[in-house]
């Protein structure tokens, strides 16, 4: 008996020292042992599946972002020109290294032009005519949509917040995404006191924008209009479409049987509207947590719908997190809903996260473009144009200018020396036309005086 107990004790000690390894079974691209959300059955952490349509869009945006920095640098100089000798010094302030700025400008000859000063004989750089026209077109489109589009977007953005107010600094950082001009504090807020009020402070960071009153007609989400259209056009069941979102998973996203059931249950889960005040509800129950989680999805969806290009960086969404009751780990939260949003990490060496609204895009292009979006895309088209085309255009322009000037001088010289009868067969017709239009007089004037000879 003593020997049996001793053998059993040694066996237990051996098992405790070397515990068996946990085995994970693959489940449609995900690990079977994965944390689940407390309020929904959708997995908390999912692998991000890339969508090359959005990533290619951001590759162009990465170049456009650098071009905009150079444009603002050149436009801030005297006469909107910049000497090449000062290029590296000033480009270091916007994040470019030594001897990198000149090579960058030469890559985009349709945007930047390098020329020699006619008096100083020094190389200068300036914007091309196409780039200046694009800037003017964007300015006109921006000013044309200030009222009522930009005003309505700002009102709805303030209505999404809990207290009906947001920090002025947070709105200023994201002003380009919401189509607000640089001077929106004066041209939008102070110019429309019937809609907005500004809580002034000594420091700009402590200023707040508030609403005068909430308009119930504006408290309609974009997803509600989409549901109504889906219900009318496709005749979907009212119970299925009542709280649902448009879901379009990226290519290569594997959907299993249980994941599909979890998404179907989540689609039918009711939630409170982002424009609804939830301060009077008890949020401690599991049902309230489900509603608040889906309400956060609806809030981010509405936030993206208010932007001009239906995209915004994750870092700028985080500015409104406390004011709109959004979760702390926004990236993990958005990865739970890859059929509604897409996060692209292209640009700024993976440190920049851009969130797209999937239903608003098709193959990297906005389905319903606006004038401001089209004007901004013009700069992307100039960036993508080949440098070879720029050289050909420049040679054609100079050839036409030089050729036309020489031909005119030669025609004048031949006409004065030999007369129209001694011109060539092609030039004789031009000389005859010139003599008929410029040197002919009516017989009436010939009889009265010699004005024709003086002419």
Query: Which CATH code fits 146-216?
Result: 1.10.10
CA distance 232 to 205: 46
pLDDT averaged over every residue in the chain: 81
pLDDT of residue 1: 53
Residue 396 DSSP label: H
The SS3 assignment for 81 reads: coil
Give pLDDT, residue 448: 39
Q: Kind and range of the H or E element at 115? A: strand 112-116
- Give the pLDDT score at 400: 43
CB 328 within 8 A of CB 317: no
For residue 390, the model assigns a pLDDT of: 67
Give the CATH architecture of domain 52-135.
Answer: Orthogonal Bundle (1.10)
Residue 156 has pLDDT above 50, yes or no: yes
Q: Residue 249 CA to chain centroid, in angstroms?
A: 22
Residue 23 reports pLDDT greater than 60: no
Q: Is 13 exposed, middle or buried (0-12, 13-18, 19+ CB in 10 A)?
A: exposed
pLDDT at 160 exceeding the cut of 50: yes
Handedness of CA 336, 342, 348, 349 (dihedral sign): positive
Q: CA 25, CA 445: separation in Å to the nearest integer?
A: 107
Contact 320, 158 (CB under 8 A): no
Domains 52-135 and 146-216 share a fold: yes
| pLDDT (0 to 100) of residue 437 | 40
Nearest to 168 by CA among 196, 198, 190: 198
- How confident is the model over 70-102, as pLDDT tens digits? 999 999 998 999 999 999 889 888 888 877 888
In tens, the pLDDT along 344-400 reads: 998 776 778 999 999 999 988 999 999 999 999 999 999 999 777 666 555 444 544
pLDDT digits (tens, 9 = 90+) for 400-450: 444 445 554 554 455 445 544 444 444 444 444 444 444 333 443 334 344
| pLDDT for position 4 | 53
Q: Would you say residue 255 has pLDDT above 90?
A: no
Q: Which residues have C-beta within 8 Å of that of residue 420, sequence separation ≥ 6?
A: 428, 431, 432, 435
Q: What is the mean pLDDT of the segment spanning 250-255?
A: 88
Cα–Cα distance for residue pair 122/421, rounded to 1 Å: 49
Q: What's the longest Cα–Cα distance across the chain? A: 153
How far apart are alpha carbons 321 and 16 in whole angstroms? 47
Q: Which of 189-203, 235-249, 282-296, 412-426 has the lowest mean pLDDT?
A: 412-426
Q: Note the pLDDT tens digit of each residue in 95-153.
A: 888 778 888 999 999 999 999 988 888 999 999 999 999 999 999 999 999 999 999 99
Distance CA 431, CA 410 (A): 11
By C-alpha distance, which of 234, 214, 216 is closest to 226?
Answer: 234
The domain spans of the chain are 52-135, 146-216, 387-454
CA distances from 22 to 15, 25, 27, 52 (A): 14, 10, 16, 36
* CA 96 vs CA 76, 104, 108, 117, 182: distances in Å: 17, 9, 16, 25, 25
- How many angstroms separate the CA atoms of 126 and 84, rounded? 10
Residues 109 and 224: their CA atoms lie apart, in Å, by 46
Instruction: For residue 127, give both structure tokens.
Output: 């914007």
Supply the pLDDT for residue 21: 36
Give the range among 205-219, 255-269, 404-418 with minimum mean pLDDT. Answer: 404-418
Which residue has tokens 């085995």? 23
Residue 9 binned pLDDT confidence (cut-offs 50, 70, 90): low
Of the chain, the percentage scoring pLDDT greater than 90 comes to 57
Report, in this order, helix, strand and coil percent for the chain, each rounded to 5: 55, 10, 35
DSSP symbol at 49: P
Write down the pTM of the prediction: 0.77
pLDDT of residue 435: 40
Q: What is the distance between the alpha carbons of residues 426 and 4, in angstroms, rounded to a whole number?
A: 122
Cα 308 to Cα 317: distance, rounded to the nearest angstrom: 15
Q: Does residue 231 contact residue 238 with C-beta atoms inside 8 Å?
A: yes
Q: Is 313 left (phi over 0), alpha (psi -120 to 50) or beta?
A: beta
pLDDT of residue 120: 86
Residue 66 has a pLDDT of 92
Closest CA to 69 of 348, 310, 318: 348
Q: Are strands 112-116 and 82-83 parallel, antiparallel or unpaired?
A: unpaired
Mean pLDDT of 44-53: 84
pLDDT, residue 321, reads 95
Please check whether residue 361 is in contact with residue 54, taking contact to mean a CB–CB distance below 8 angstroms.
yes
**Which pLDDT does position 14 carry in this prediction?**
53
Residue-wise pLDDT for 318-353, tens only, equals 999 999 999 999 999 999 999 999 999 987 767 789
265 backbone dihedrals φ, ψ, rounded to 5°: -65, -40
Nearest one of 261, 290, 243 to 40, comparing CA atoms: 290
* Whole-Å CA distances, 346 to 130, 315, 337: 27, 14, 20
Q: Which of 27-41, 121-135, 191-205, 369-383 has the lowest mean pLDDT?
A: 27-41
pLDDT at residue number 39 = 58
């Amino acid at each position: 008996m003593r020997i049996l107990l001793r053998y059993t004790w040694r066996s237990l000690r051996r098992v405790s020292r070397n515990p068996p390894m946990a085995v994970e079974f693959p489940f449609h691209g995900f690990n079977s042992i994965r944390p689940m959300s407390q309020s929904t059955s959708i997995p908390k952490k999912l692998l991000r599946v890339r969508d090359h349509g959005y990533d290619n869009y951001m590759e162009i945006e990465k170049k456009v972002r650098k071009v905009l920095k150079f444009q603002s640098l050149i436009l801030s100089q005297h006469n909107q020109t910049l000497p090449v000798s000062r290029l590296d010094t000033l480009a270091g302030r916007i994040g470019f290294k030594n001897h990198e700025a000149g090579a960058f400008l030469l890559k985009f000859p349709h945007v930047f032009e390098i020329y020699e000063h006619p008096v100083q004989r020094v190389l200068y750089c300036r914007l091309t005519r196409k780039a200046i026209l694009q800037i003017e077109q964007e300015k006109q489109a921006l000013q044309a949509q200030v009222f009522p589009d930009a005003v309505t977007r700002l009102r709805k953005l303030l209505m999404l917040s809990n207290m009906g107010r947001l920090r002025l600094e947070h709105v200023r950082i994201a002003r380009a995404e919401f189509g607000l001009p640089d001077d929106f504090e004066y041209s939008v807020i102070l110019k429309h006191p019937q809609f907005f009020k500004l809580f002034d402070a000594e420091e700009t960071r402590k200023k707040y924008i508030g609403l005068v009153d909430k308009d119930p007609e504006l408290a309609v989400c974009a997803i509600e209009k989409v549901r109504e259209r889906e219900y009318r056009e496709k005749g979907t069941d009212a119970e299925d479409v009542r709280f649902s979102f448009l879901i379009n998973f990226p290519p290569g996203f594997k959907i299993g049987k249980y994941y599909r059931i979890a998404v179907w249950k989540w689609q039918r889960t009711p939630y409170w509207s982002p424009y609804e005040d939830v301060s009077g509800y008890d949020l401690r129950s599991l049902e309230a947590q489900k509603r608040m989680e889906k309400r956060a999805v609806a809030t981010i969806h509405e936030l993206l719908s208010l932007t001009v290009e239906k995209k915004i960086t994750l870092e700028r969404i985080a500015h409104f997190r406390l004011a709109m009751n959004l979760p702390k780990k926004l990236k993990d939260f958005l990865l739970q809903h890859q059929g509604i949003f897409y996060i692209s990490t292209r640009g700024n060496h993976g440190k920049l996260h851009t969130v797209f609204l999937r239903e608003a895009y098709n193959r990297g292009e906005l389905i319903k473009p606006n004038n401001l979006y089209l004007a901004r895309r013009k700069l992307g088209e100039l960036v993508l144009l080949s440098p070879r085309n720029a050289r050909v255009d420049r040679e054609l322009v100079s050839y036409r200018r030089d050729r036309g000037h020489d031909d005119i001088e030669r025609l004048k010289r031949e006409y004065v020396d030999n007369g129209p009868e001694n011109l060539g067969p092609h030039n004789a017709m031009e000389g005859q036309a010139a003599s008929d239009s410029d040197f002919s007089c009516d017989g009436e004037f010939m009889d009265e005086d010699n004005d024709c000879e003086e002419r």
